[in-house]
Amino acid sequence: MSAAFGQLGDDCRHLMRSELNEVAEAFEPGQVGSSTMAQKRNPINFENLKAMWKKNVGEYVKVLLTLHSEHQRDLTDSAVMRDFPTILVNLMTQLNTLRRKNQSGAPFLARLSFNNEALKRNLGMNAHVILAEPIYIALQMAGYPDDAHELVNRKLVPRAQKENLPLAEILRHYAQTESDPCISEAYGRIPAEVKEMLACPEKYTGDAAKKALEVVSLAQECVCELSGEA
């Protein structure tokens, strides 16, 4: 759990970089930015999530050291084991970071902002090739007998990059103009709704939202069970 929070902090910290600019922490009244660069907004909460995970990495080294005992009579572990609760303290610091409210009562996560223009811009930079994986999977599922990964990687992607066209369009053109009947037949068996999805990278989300909610629900059940709440 601590590692997951640390990963969230690290990912979002990078997404706040000027050249990406996709996510931003709220900058509360009275908050100080960089000590030297007045224009800078330090991601202090995201950095705290990552920092606490780094601290827990050190604490887990102690845990691992206690797994080896000298003839099962090693009392040198007792002093180390007294530090084990530090792991939970660090985890609670991460949880408190995510739950911390401002003067208006809004928790940290609810105060994040997203730059839709930057998100679209950054997606668009590689939108024409990022669906290489589902394209070769669709070909394999449609019965393409050869190595679909090799086809996409060696032939379709270079052409899409050179012509700056979507992979789905390159595949369609390739299936219509090349003399390989295997490609044409496999392409013809790909369902229309799959072809439509392959042409729209922003629609390639699968069950991500559903799975995320399932994980959150499971975590909430675990927290309630541990805390004795109904």
Q: Residues 6 or more apart from 60 whose CB is under 8 A from it?
A: 87
- pLDDT single digits (tens) 63-114: 998 888 777 776 788 888 898 999 999 999 999 999 889 888 999 989 999 9
Extract the tokens encoding 182.
């295997």
Structure confidence by residue, pLDDT tens digits, 12-63: 999 999 899 999 988 777 666 667 776 777 888 999 999 999 999 999 999 9
C-alpha dist (Å) from residue 45 to 80, 100, 114: 29, 10, 16
> How confident is the model over 210-225, as a mean pLDDT?
89
d(CA 77, CA 91): 22
